[in-house]
Structure 1
Amino acid sequence: MAKGDDAVRKKQNKVKRKKLHNKNDRSSSAISARVASIIAAKKRRHSGKRRKCQGMCFSLPTLDDPFNDRNGAKDFEKKATKKPMVSHKHENVILKEKSKEILDTEMVDGPAQKKEMVTVLKDELKKSLASINTMAHRSRIDPGNTKIQLDGNGGIYGHQGKVCENLDCPSKYLIQCLNAIENSLRCDGTYDNEEDKPLFVSTWGVEFWKCYSAGKDILETSGTSSKMEQIAWMVSCTADSVSRKDEEGLSVTSPFLLFLVPSQEKATKIRSVCKPLKALGIHTVSIHPGASLDHQIEGLKSSEPEIMISTPERLLELLSLKAIDLSGVSLLVIDGLESFYSEGCLDKINSIRQSISGKTHTVVFNDCHRYACVRVVQNLLTGSVRRLSLNSSLTSQSACIIQSVNMCLSKEKLPKAIGVLDQAYRGRHQPQASKVLYMVGKDDKYRKLATTLKFKGYSVTSDLVFTEVENSVVMKGRTRPAVSMIDIDQIGATDFSEYECVVLPDLTLSIDSYVQILTRMARYSVNGVLHSFFAREDAKLAAPLIKILEQCGQAVPEALRKMSSS
């Protein structure tokens, strides 16, 4: 029986509805499949029924998880990285220094140079951070070599001396002390650095640290008393040394640094610089006539200061009463000889220096160019000396060098020059093996002088003129010191730093050459003497020589003044 049109249409509509239903069903299931699975899992948890795979996830309570809150899940510990991290403090110090260098470079160089400099500084920064990471990693590997103590306020007292010790640069603890002082001074508004640079990049401070580490006495010849940055470096080096002794198990029972100052105002200024070090375990006391003697004695009994600031008068009073022990003083700083000279305290300083037993490094700020002060400096600095200065003036470079001008006739110059050599040799109890006397000569008449010196037992040496003379002469079991002679034209290429005694038999050289010799001789001593012989034929040099002598605080012979006026 054939189907009618209605039956066919009905069947077709049924097929269309089925297709449409299947399509909608697939799209809805795709969207709600995840939601449906979550709802189903929730129902199973509420009913207490789980799938077979979920049955393996059941766990029993433990002592670490008595309420089974974590359902047996373990706490995964993060694996420590092998590369130790750099502390923000040291990273900030390096970044601050490098950024300052970049700013200075931008002010001087152009864009091309600036870009190149930035790249170089970035590489240097990476190397610096890598070296710090290496030292920190070694400290973790070998914790036995690290010792850090904490004071009552939580400040670090001590540093990693054996681990982070580096002879090429100051220690981290020293930099930390400098940063603490700088931050305190900036907060008080007393940071008077003209260039506004950090303390740890001070050129004077780095040179001082090198001399201090080498154990050399220091003569500061800037012509002024100590400045803030100089005080900061000296007390920071002291704190670093005290911390190293503590790490070695050596206690500091008496003052390590003794700072002699002429007035109470100067003592207050220095103590304000030392104040930030108290949080790092470095205690400072100030002794001056502004407080009662009994009060200061009681204070010294109850404390063991590492740094002492004192005036000479009050310190001698305490020494006479045996209220203080100076046997442990390792660094003596004498600040301002001019004030001590005007107050008549030079003899007191010598007495204090003699009361200090043991090896003591001495730092003298020489702002006095009088002859009396030169003798005091020579008594205080008896060993090898390094000269430091903030300027390169003639007065600064020639400090503690005595200029002896001898007035004589022309024919008396050579005999008197030989007499000066004899006197200088007699003044030396133990002649050094190196050359200590220096003669400047020219023309053939100085060959006669060389022959005379050889006959008297001197060893005359020269690489330029008298090469035929042997280097040493032994006379009656004693070796005469070497006398070096050069041509005047070779003065600019000669190193005068090793020679304490320079003799100019004839002032045929210019005044510029005289100044050049004066400012380059006796760099490692305070016993330098420059002898010159002046005759009437040298009258044209009288006026400039008098000016140099007056500028350096030297005695001017009356005969030289008369020659200049005539």
Structure 2
Amino acid sequence: MGKAEEYQAKKRNKAARKRLSNTVDFTHGVQAAKRRRKAGRRRICEGMCYSLPTPKDPFNDSYKENLAKKKVKEARRDGDNDLPYGKTATKVGLNQEKKARAEKSKANVKSSSAESNKFEKSGSNTLPKRSEAEMRQAFVTRSGPSNHVLSNGENDAFQRQAIHFAKYKWKPSCENCSKNNNSWTCVGGDAFEVALCALLNADMVKNEEYEVNAAVEQKVPFEKCIGSKWDWLFWEACGTGSNVLVTGRAAIAIFQISSVLAAVAHIGTRRAPQIQFKDPIALFLVQSKEHTLQVRSIFRVFKSLLGLHAVSLHPQTALEHQIEGLRSTEAEVLVATPERLCELLSINAVSLTNISFMVVDGVEEMVSCGLADDLLQVKGRVPDNVQVVLSSGHFPHSMHDICRKLLEGPIRRVMSNISLPQSCACICQNVHFMVSYDKRQQKLKNILRDHMESRENGASPQGPVVLCRRQLLSQVKDMIQEEGYSVDVLSDDNIKTNQSGNLVLEQFRNGQVEVLIATEDCVSQIDLADIGIIVLYEFPASIEFYQQILMRMARNTINGVLYSFCSGATAPLASQLIAVLQECHQPIPSSLRMLADAAQVVEQSKGS
């Protein structure tokens, strides 16, 4: 290579370095290296970049002695020797840094406000004053670079307002994905499509060659041949911004890949140009160290493509090491076990105020290990409008309380197969054995009273719906009206006149009618997806009808309750009802067992 070519190469390299120095990833890397260098925790590859070995110090270990002396000086200056977790000076330095950062942010706010006033007086357009609506629009936008760079003061104030924003929505698609030379590429796509191509190239997502070629020839959407039907149902549910309840996972690895892709799409939707977040955006709560490493290994596929950085936190690593790692990196994703995350939260080593997407993988296993309190503690530290994805293989009755505290508001259900245990997950089945109608009326009054009180507090779903025989419609209606509730009846007479039946249903959906009474024949006309409270005033004549009600109700809520009033006429179906309760992991009343035993004795006596 001649001098002219060497000069041109140096010139190109210099221009490339200058171009890269303006990117966010390069800035993050330089800042992280600077923090590691100041803390004395250089990487092996950085050891020769700043000092040369000497005969007295051939391995460049002198910085360790200086670091120890620095910690001793800080501890003596602060005069705090009663530090938790090993009495190290790391927590002292953490508190000092937080105080300094708070003072610095206050100074930045004052300086930015003074500069804005100065620009307004001088009539300059260099730094225009932005309204809150404009800041929100710049935050949620997904296309095009921003023409305005937020100052430090505006950025801090904007991050404090970010936790009150609405949930972020996105739509899964692969329209911009294409396969050329056995490699998937994405041109002009969003974060979801870029991440999907990366997973396809890494063979982490199912891809049948025959189906892909057939889709290209027959112009079939790629959704038919990329991934599985469950994957797309899960991604569509996460894209709505609602909380998601995943039941009956086929495999943990499949759920991890799908949830990571949903997190990438969420972060890509929330990201805005020229805005940097110091706190993580997504949180994954898993059971053990192995699961944290598995989830983090999936995120590493996107680190070079999307600049995503994930940090794993588990009890098998020293607490001080994780504290130093959190201080020296700016991670957008936390993958942690609940117990270790609670330890870090107790000493304010990590902040969850910016979390907007949280995945809880394996709730049943965590609760069985005694981590229910840790899960609730973490839920209390994240913003109220965080999107939660909850998954478990089974949902026994003992888990309903904690699941309802983790999943608030409307939900979307994603099931691996349409079965009874998965369809009725987190739906309580209360069976009451009552012979006299007076006790039934009193029990119904108590149910309505509790429901109306919870509705006033905003924690109750739509309902209730009371199902009874045609002969009891007027009696039940009069009793409910005496309690002061507005009630209407849906029967065959209303259904025959379509206008009257539709009017009753519309008034019930709008809340003009508080209680709806219907016969069993008219249940098919009611959309039970939003109905959370259903009362079977008399147990149905077949167990199939009971199962249909159970699988149709409370699709969009986690507070579903099905009340069943049984009598002696239910004895032939008692054993089948017990089998349904056992299959759904529900408690079985002793009165129902006695009724089943009595029915069995009667059958045996008839047979003999």
Task: Report the TM-score range of the alignment, normalised by the length of the smaller protein.
Answer: 0.5 to 0.7
Q: Give structure 2 stretches of 5+ with no counterpart.
A: 1-142, 147-168, 175-188, 213-224, 495-499, 506-510, 599-608
1:373 and 1:435 map into 2 onto residues whose CA distance is: 22
Alignment partners' CA distance in 1, 2:329 and 2:536: 57
CA distance 1:359–1:196, change in 2 (3 Å): farther
Q: Show the counterpart of 1:300.
A: 326
Question: What is the TM-score of this pair, normalised by structure 1?
Answer: 0.64
Cα deviation, 1:410-449, whole Å, max 9, x if unaligned, reads 4333443333223322332257999511011223222111
Describe the SS at the equivalent of 2:456. Answer: coil
What is the identity, as a one-letter code, of the residue corresponding to 1:179?
C
Structure 2 residue aligned with 1:282: 308
Q: 1:245 to 1:335 in 2, by over 3 A?
A: closer
1:366 aligned onto 2:375: no
Q: 1:245 to 1:451 in 2, by over 3 A?
A: closer
Name the SS of the counterpart of 2:241 in structure 1: coil
Counterpart among 372, 378, 383 of residue 346 in structure 1: 372
**Whole-angstrom CA distance in 1 between matches of 2:362 and 2:387:** 17
Counterpart pick for 1:555 among 548, 562, 587: 587
Match of residue 519, structure 1, among 551, 575, 588: 551
Cα deviations by residue, 1:80-112 (Å, 9 ceiling, x for unpaired): xxxxxxxxxxxxxxxxxxxxxxxxxxxxxxxxx
2:409 equivalent to 1:391: no
Distance 1:369 1:434, change over 3 A: closer
**1:240 aligned residue:** 265
- Establish whether residue 317 from structure 1 lines up as the match of residue 343 from structure 2: yes
Q: 1:207 pairs with 206, 229, 233, which one?
A: 233
Corresponding residue of 1:416? 443
2:198 to 161, 180, 189: 180
2:291 corresponds in structure 1 to: 266
2:453 maps to 1:426: yes
Q: How far did residue 193 of structure 1 move?
A: 8.4
Deviation at 1:185, TM superposition (A): 4.1
Alignment length (residue pairs): 396
- Measured at CA, do residues 434 and 217 of structure 1 come closer, stay the same or move farther in structure 2, by a change above 3 Å? closer
Say whether 1:255 aligns with 2:285: no
CA contact (8 A) 1:185 1:273 kept: no
Q: Residue deviations 1:385-432, cap 9 Å, x none? A: 111111111000000000000111143334433332233223322579
Does residue 1:405 correspond to 2:409, yes or no?
A: no
- For 1:435-446, list aligned pairs within 5 A: 436-446=463-473
Instruction: Give the letter aligned to residue 483 of structure 2.
Output: K
Q: Secondary structure at the match of 1:497?
A: helix
In structure 1, the residue matched to 2:568 is 536
Contact 1:267 1:310 in 2 (8 A): yes
Deviation at 1:515, TM superposition (A): 0.3
Distance (whole Å) between structure 1 residues aligned to residue 377 and residue 460 of structure 2: 33
Per-residue deviation, 1:212: 2.7
Unpaired segments ≥5 residues, structure 1: 1-143, 148-164, 473-478
Q: How many angstroms does 1:245 deviate by?
A: 4.3
Contact 2:172/2:232 (<8 A) preserved? no
Contact 1:178–1:233 (Cα < 8 Å) also in 2: no
2:253 equivalent to 1:228: yes
Alignment partner, residue 479 of structure 2: 452
Q: Closer, same or farther in 2 for the Cα pair 1:509/1:192, shift >3 Å?
A: same
Give the Å deviation of 1:238. 2.7
* Amino acid paired to 1:455: E
1:327 aligns to what SS in structure 2?
Answer: coil
State the SS of the aligned residue for 1:326: coil
Match of 1:500 among 520, 529, 532: 532
Corresponding residue for residue 83 of structure 1: none
Greater Rg by CA: 1
User: Aligned in 2, Cα 1:431/1:239: closer, same or farther, shift over 3 Å?
Assistant: closer
Asked whether the 8 Å contact 2:540–2:546 carries over to 1, the reply is: no
Residue identity in the other structure for 1:391? N
Moved more, 259-268 or 346-355: 259-268
CA distance in 2, matches of 1:439, 1:466: 17
SS at match of 1:554: coil
Distance 1:399 1:194 in 2: 33
1:149-202 Cα deviation digits (max 9, x unpaired): xxxxxxxxxxxxxxxx9958364431221221232246xxxx788999888543
Three-state SS of the structure 2 residue aligned to 1:491 is helix
Q: Is the 8 A contact 1:175 1:200 kept in 2?
A: no
> Structure 1 residue aligned with 2:542, among 510, 513, 518?
510
Letter in 2 for 1:560: L
TM-score, scaled to structure 2? 0.60
CA–CA separation in structure 2 for the residues paired with 1:379 and 1:406: 26
Higher helix share: 2
Post-superposition offset of 1:340: 0.8
Task: Note the 1:67-146 alignment, pairs <5 A.
Answer: 145=144
- Determine if contact 1:439/1:485 at 8 Å carries over to the other structure: yes
Per-residue deviation at 1:309? Answer: 0.7
Provide the residue aligned with 1:64 in structure 2: none
Amino acid at match of 1:173: A
CA separation of 1:172 and 1:196: change in aligned 2, threshold 3 A: farther
* Aligned partner of 2:489 among 448, 457, 462: 462
C-alpha displacement at 1:230, in angstroms? 3.1
Cα distance change on mapping 1:205 and 1:366 into 2, 3 Å: same
Letter in 2 for 1:340: M
Amino acid at match of 1:359: N
Secondary structure at the counterpart of residue 564 of structure 2: strand
1:342-367 deviation line (CA, Å, top 9, x unaligned): 11001110001101135210010033
1:330 match: 356
CA drift at 1:492:
3.4
2:528 counterpart SS class: coil
CA distance in 1, matches of 2:407, 2:320: 34
CA 1:493–1:403 in 2, change beyond 3 Å: closer, same or farther? same
From the superposition, tell whether residues 193 and 372 of structure 1 become closer, same or farther in structure 2 (CA, over 3 Å).
Answer: farther
Pairing 1:545–2:570 present: no
**Which aligned pairs between 1:8-87 and structure 2 lie closer than 5 A?**
none
Distance 1:197 1:417, change over 3 A: farther
| Deviation for aligned residue 1:338 | 1.5
Counterpart for residue 132 of structure 1: none
Work out the CA distance in 1 between the residues paired with 2:242 and 2:594: 44
1 CA distance for matches of 2:296 and 2:250?
15
Contact 2:468 2:519 in 1 (8 A): yes
